[in-house]
Every structure is written in structure tokens, then in C-alpha cells.
């Protein structure tokens, strides 16, 4: 299935302001890359900048796109919801202005039934802004 035919809304449950991912750039069995643009609708601080903590959510949503894509290829419905734990995270920026174009890449480290671990990075203009390892627990299918 070509990336152009994938709809983010079919892969993750996030909608409206909570959906940060704008575009799927690349996806395969082990990795996914997405793009997003920081907007005024994102949670900005009093200085008008985006806290780098939200980059963890961008990594989590890109991992969700990846898992949703894999589930759709197996004929399953998209993942219902995840509980995300942060195994480790490093930030290399103090804040991001609206209009910043972000590219997020995730890679599956391992999975076991309803548990998975992903590593991810967020970049802007080829500069790494955040790197994190997330563990996710997804709801079991009924």
C-alpha cells in the first residue's frame, strides 16, 4: 500500500488538536517516519514556544501510526489505546516556535503480545531535538 493512500485517522485514535502527526513519510515493518508542523493550536507556553516535552507525544503518535499500519496489514482494527511509559528521554532544545517543521522517526526495538518498546527521534532542519525510548502497553482485543 503506497504511503500516499494511508490516512492517519485510520491508524490512530487522535483527532482535532490532539492529532499532532500531519503526514506519513515512510513506513515499513520496523520503522515509521512522519512529519508535523508546530501550530498555534499546540500547547504553547507563555512565551509562545512549544515545550519540548510534547515531542514525546509526537514520538508516541508516530509509534501509534506504525502499530496501526501493521494491524491494518493483518486485517485487524487499529490499536484502541495505549498506556505509554518513558524509559529514557533526552531533549536538545528549550522550545519550538510555531511554524517549525518536525520529522519524527520511530523503530521497534521489540514486542511481546500487548507490550512493545520503541526508540524515536524528532528533528527539525536535520537537527535532533529529542530522542526517547518508550514502552507501550496496548489494550487487548476483546
Residue (of 136, 135, 48, 139) closest to 95 by Cα position: 48
CB 137 within 8 A of CB 82: yes
Residue (of 78, 89, 84) closest to 128 by Cα position: 89
Residue (of 129, 5, 138, 142) closest to 63 by Cα position: 138
pLDDT tens digit sequence for 6-20: 777 777 776 677 789
CATH number listed for the domain at residues 3-138: 3.10.129.10
pLDDT tens digit sequence for 81-131: 677 899 999 999 999 999 999 999 999 999 898 888 999 999 999 999 999
- In angstroms, the CA 102 to CA 38 distance is 8
pLDDT reading at 47 higher than 80: yes
pLDDT reading at 53 higher than 70: yes
The pLDDT, as a whole number, for residue 10 is 76
- In angstroms, the CA 28 to CA 16 distance is 26
Q: Which three cell numbers mark 42? A: 499546540
pLDDT reading at 75 higher than 60: yes
- In angstroms, the CA 91 to CA 7 distance is 29
DSSP 96: B
- Cβ-based neighbour number of residue 13 at 10 Å: 15
- Cβ-based neighbour number of residue 111 at 10 Å: 14
Amino acid at each position: 500500500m503506497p504511503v500516499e493512500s494511508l490516512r492517519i485517522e485510520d491508524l490512530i485514535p487522535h483527532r482535532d488538536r490532539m492529532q499532532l502527526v500531519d503526514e506519513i513519510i515512510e513506513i515499513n515493518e520496523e520503522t515509521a517516519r512522519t512529519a508535523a508542523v508546530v501550530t498555534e493550536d499546540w500547547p504553547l507556553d507563555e512565551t509562545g514556544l512549544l515545550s519540548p516535552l510534547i515531542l514525546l507525544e509526537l514520538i508516541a503518535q508516530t509509534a501509534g501510526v506504525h502499530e496501526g499500519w501493521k494491524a491494518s496489514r493483518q486485517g485487524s482494527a487499529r490499536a484502541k489505546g495505549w498506556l505509554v511509559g518513558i524509559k529514557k528521554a533526552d531533549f536538545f532544545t528549550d522550545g519550538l516556535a510555531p511554524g517549525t517543521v518536525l520529522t519524527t522517526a520511530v523503530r521497534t526495538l521489540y514486542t511481546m503480545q500487548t507490550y512493545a518498546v520503541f526508540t524515536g527521534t524528532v528533528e527539525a532542519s536535520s537537527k535532533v531535538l529529542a530522542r526517547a525510548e518508550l514502552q507501550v502497553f496496548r489494550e487487548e482485543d476483546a
